[in-house]
């Protein structure tokens, strides 16, 4: 599960070697990641990109990828866990939970700094892009 801030960081990045860019490319170009989205998270990705002035062409491409790619799992949300300091982050948690994600990849301190007691409720890890890349590379070589 990619948090919205990772998607945004890819589209706004000028550093082609940033962890956010590398993760996005693992999904988009190399097709080595399965992205989990709900209608709500997909809409959030597209809405925020539009608000930030990303070109309509790039937004349309992302929308089409989210709709058609085999490397995208779409889930329907039920209830949302209320564990993050930021209630908006509960959407991300719910999507990851329903989608049986292994990771939420985020730059969001509200998610990363959740108390251990809250994190134990989930079967996924909440990690930064750099932490994910280290784990991914270790698994790929191990």
pLDDT, position 87: 82
Assess if CATH 3.30.1560 describes domain 4-137.
no
8 Å CB contact between 34 and 71: yes
Q: Could you read off the pLDDT of 56-65 as tens digits, one per residue?
A: 999 999 999 9
pLDDT, position 52: 97
User: Beta strands of 66-115 (E only): which ranges?
Assistant: 72-75, 103-105
Instruction: Report the C-alpha gap between 111 and 17 in whole angstroms.
Output: 24
pLDDT, position 124: 95
- Reported confidence tier of residue 83, pLDDT bands at 50, 70, 90: confident
List the domain boundaries for the chain. 4-137
How far from 136 is each of 25, 52, 83, 131, CA to CA, in Å?
A: 13, 30, 27, 9
In the chain, % of residues over pLDDT 70: 99
pTM of the full structure: 0.93
Mean pLDDT to the nearest integer, 91-98: 94
Query: Kind of pairing, strands 125-127 and 103-105?
Result: parallel
- Reported confidence tier of residue 20, pLDDT bands at 50, 70, 90: very high
Q: Is pLDDT above 90 for 79?
A: no
């Amino acid at each position: 599960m990619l948090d919205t801030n990772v998607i945004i960081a890819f589209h706004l990045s000028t550093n082609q070697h940033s962890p956010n860019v590398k993760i996005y490319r693992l999904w988009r170009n190399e097709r080595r990641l399965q992205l989990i989205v709900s209608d709500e998270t997909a809409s959030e990705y597209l809405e925020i990109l539009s608000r930030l002035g990303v070109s309509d062409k790039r937004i349309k491409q992302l929308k089409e990828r989210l709709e058609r790619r085999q490397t995208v799992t779409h889930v329907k949300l039920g209830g949302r866990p209320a564990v993050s300091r930021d209630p908006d982050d509960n959407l991300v948690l719910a999507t990851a939970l329903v989608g049986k994600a292994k990771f939420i990849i985020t730059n969001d301190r509200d998610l990363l700094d959740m108390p251990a007691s809250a994190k134990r409720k989930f079967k996924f890890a909440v990690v930064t892009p750099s932490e994910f890349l280290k784990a991914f590379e270790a698994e790929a070589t191990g």
